[in-house]
């Protein structure tokens, strides 16, 4: 035997590792053997061989190299691996937890290693701290591909063909689909990576319970814990990684890009939470929506209509219920109505059904479409590109066509909800076309015993007698087919909480009072005033803390939302307003997809987020 064993290094559940010397190449290696009791176990031997094959196919600086396989003179199988001096993330003492930047760099290197594996169509299936070694040079090596499997993939993410799952892995780090024994792909590794990333950043496991069974139950049913300890700018990424629905997890390319951005620009970690992440003063309304969502588990569907003035936080509230739905493994969909002349009929439904095409596995989607595929394809032509077996629609008299289309869409979404409950947001219904509203009425009449929650938002100040939405709302209320949630402006206490969250520290009472008085508690106006005063340098000192010499009388708070946005726009370059004006004009064209892009871009530019005081926003 060319390897001379020097000393034991460690033991695991199935194997033991020894430091050895390769006499031919004159280098130290790590030899991994099966435990003596498993030497004749066919399953264990297959796992050892699979680990060698998978790792050997991955030539990457952050993956442990496998050099060779063989047997000792007495017939013990082994694999010869790169010898690593260091310790695993699991064996590091708590007192030696890495700094924030080091933790992010470790996460970045693990993400790069996984990305390489997924490029070679290999899913690890057992990513955990014990399988991530940090060497003395500070760099990581992902190890133990013993549970790895190859999956065929023409693309990535939801386009990947999944492999047969089986319940295999470490319970505290398995994805929900892995625990259920369902087919999995690389997105299962993303869930495990989300757990590992939170652990190295905060030292806490988001689902850990007293027993393995309780931990697995928490992964399947509970929301993650401890995310409040994460930096505000990192929390959204970890939340997405820990989505119970595989379709809700980001791509590894996105993860790698985000982590690299923070590693290379650590000053971004000090950024305040953006207004879109702050959520205050709506706890009772959110609890009401959550209760309706919980009812989906027992097959009880409903419609909730959230009304209020512009900027009062309707969409922000709905973002929370959609995030809740994703974490619970529900299918979260959203479609938007736009104030565009000649808008395409059924636009919010088209938008959300196109989302279904992107996130639902192809075979599952085709099964849900069933015989209704030809009718659904009338408003979602993309389906005909995806499936060549869709027949041409039945030719019906005009008076029958609409009802047949509505029944077909109803049957389709009911079948879709059998795989996972649906939480469906229809935003800005006051702008909806009549066809979209008629379809909504049709569905609402049939979802009482189906796991579908439709949440619609509307501006109550834009209700006009005789208009399509006003007529529909009156009918739904009269027939008791909807739950109405009215959002009011924030109280002074809630304004204080919002400003404190935006500023990263308790806001001065005098500032709270004047902003509350001037904005009357409208969240959008509050955020814009905060951004304006922050950009003017009137709120914070050089250390990023509230100015102790803050004089409210000198703040010059603009009166009115248009004025405060106007003052912010004055600070843009000369060319930017010209682009915005052009986009606003183009945005009124009738081509729906182009119109949506233009309108969305214009709105984004008009409601730009607060830039960092020390440099431009990223």
Tell me the average pLDDT of the chain: 81
Within 10 Å of residue 43's Cβ, how many Cβ atoms?
9
Which one is catalytic: 59, 68, 74, 126? 126
**Element spanning 484, H or E:** strand 483-486
Which of 40-44, 71-75, 201-205, 461-465 is modeled with the greatest confidence? 201-205
- Predicted confidence (pLDDT) per residue in 515-532, tens digit: 898 888 999 888 888 887
| Contact between 33 and 15 (Cβ < 8 Å) | yes
Query: Using 50, 70 and 90 to split pLDDT, how confident is the model at 551?
Result: low
**What whole-number distance in Å separates Cα of residue 484 and Cα of residue 423?**
16
What's the CATH class of domain 283-486? alpha beta
**What is the pLDDT averaged over residues 133-162?**
63
- Which DSSP category does 395 fall into? P
pLDDT at residue 155, as a whole number? 37
Percent of the chain with pLDDT over 90: 40
Three-state SS annotation for 98-121: CCHHHHHHHHHHHHHHHHHHHHCC
Is 126 catalytic? The answer is yes
Q: Name the pairing type of β-strands 86-88 and 132-135.
A: antiparallel
Q: What is the CATH number of domain 3-82?
A: 3.30.200.20
pLDDT (tens digit per residue) in 417-450: 998 999 999 999 999 999 999 999 999 999 999 9
Mean pLDDT of the region 569-597 = 51
Distance CA 164, CA 179 (A): 12
* Structure-block tokens of residue 353: 């059904």
Q: How far apart are the first and last CA of the chain?
A: 57
Place of tokens 């790895």: 148
Query: What pLDDT score does 166 carry?
Result: 47
For the stretch 380-426, pLDDT in tens is 998 998 999 999 999 999 889 999 999 999 999 999 999 899 999 99
Q: Which residues contact 253 (CB under 8 A, 6 or more apart)?
A: 115
Domain at 86-270: CATH architecture: Orthogonal Bundle (1.10)
């Amino acid at each position: 035997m060319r390897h001379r064993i020097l000393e034991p290094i460690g033991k695991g559940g199935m194997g033991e590792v020894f430091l050895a010397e390769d006499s031919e190449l004159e280098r130290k290696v790590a030899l991994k053997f099966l435990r003596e009791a498993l030497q004749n176990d066919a399953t264990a031997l297959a796992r050892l061989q699979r680990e060698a094959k998978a790792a050997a196919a991955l030539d990457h600086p952050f993956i442990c190299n496998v050099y060779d396989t063989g047997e000792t003179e007495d017939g013990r199988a082994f694999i010869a691996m790169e010898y690593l001096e260091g310790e695993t993330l699991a064996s590091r003492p708590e007192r030696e937890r890495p700094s924030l930047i080091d933790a992010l760099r470790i996460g970045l290197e693990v993400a790069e290693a996984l990305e390489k594996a997924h490029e070679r169509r290999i899913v690890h299936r057992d990513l955990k701290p014990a399988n991530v070694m940090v060497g003395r040079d500070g760099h990581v090596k992902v190890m133990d591909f013993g549970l790895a499997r190859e999956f065929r993939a023409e693309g990535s993410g939801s386009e990947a063909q999944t492999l047969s799952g089986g319940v295999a892995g470490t319970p505290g780090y398995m994805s929900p689909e892995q625990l259920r024994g369902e087919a999995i792909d690389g997105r299962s590794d993303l869930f495990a990576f989300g757990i590992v990333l939170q652990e190295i950043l905060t030292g806490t496991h988001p689902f850990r319970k007293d027993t393995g069974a309780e931990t697995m139950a928490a992964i399947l049913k509970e929301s993650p814990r401890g995310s409040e300890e994460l930096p505000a700018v990192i929390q959204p990424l970890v939340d997405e990684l820990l989505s119970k629905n595989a379709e809700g997890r980001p791509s590894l390319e996105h993860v790698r890009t985000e982590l690299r951005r923070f590693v290379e620009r650590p000053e971004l970690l000090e950024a305040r939470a953006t207004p879109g992440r702050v959520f205050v003063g709506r706890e009772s309304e959110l609890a009401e929506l959550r209760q309706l969502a919980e009812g989906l588990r027992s097959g009880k569907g409903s419609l909730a209509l959230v009304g209020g003035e512009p900027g009062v936080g309707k969409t922000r509230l709905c973002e929370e219920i959609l995030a809740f739905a994703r974490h619970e493994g529900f299918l979260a969909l959203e479609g938007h109505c736009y104030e565009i002349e000649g808008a395409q009929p059924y636009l919010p439904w088209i938008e959300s059904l196109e989302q279904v095409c992107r996130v639902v596995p192809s075979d599952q989607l085709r099964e849900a479409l069933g015989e209704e595929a030809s009718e659904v394809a009338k408003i979602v032509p993309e389906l005909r590109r995806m499936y060549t077996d869709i027949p041409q629609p039945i030719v019906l008299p005009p008076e029958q066509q609409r009802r047949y289309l509505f029944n077909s869409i109803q049957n389709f979404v009911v079948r879709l909800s059998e795989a996972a409950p649906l939480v469906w947001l229809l935003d800005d219904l006051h702008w909806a076309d009549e066809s979209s509203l008629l379809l909504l009425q049709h569905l609402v009449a049939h979802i009482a015993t189906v796991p579908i929650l439709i949440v619609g938002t509307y501006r109550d100040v834009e209700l006009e007698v005789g208009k399509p939405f006003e007529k529909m709302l009156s009918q739904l209320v009269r027939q008791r087919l909807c739950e109405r949630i009215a959002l009011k402006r924030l109280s002074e206490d809630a304004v204080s909480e919002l400003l404190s969250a935006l500023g990263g520290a308790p806001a001065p009472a005098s500032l709270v009072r004047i902003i509350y008085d001037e904005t009357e508690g409208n969240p959008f106006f509050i955020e814009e005033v905060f951004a304006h005063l922050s950009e003017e340098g009137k709120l914070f000192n050089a250390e990023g803390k509230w100015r102790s010499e803050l004089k409210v009388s000198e703040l010059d708070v603009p009166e009115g939302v248009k004025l405060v946005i106007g003052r912010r726009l004055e600070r843009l370059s000369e060319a930017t307003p010209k682009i915005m004006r052009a986009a606003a004009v183009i945005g009124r064209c009738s081509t729906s997809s182009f119109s949506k892009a233009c309108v969305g871009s214009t709105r984004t530019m008009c409601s730009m987020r607060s830039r960092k005081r020390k440099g431009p926003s990223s």
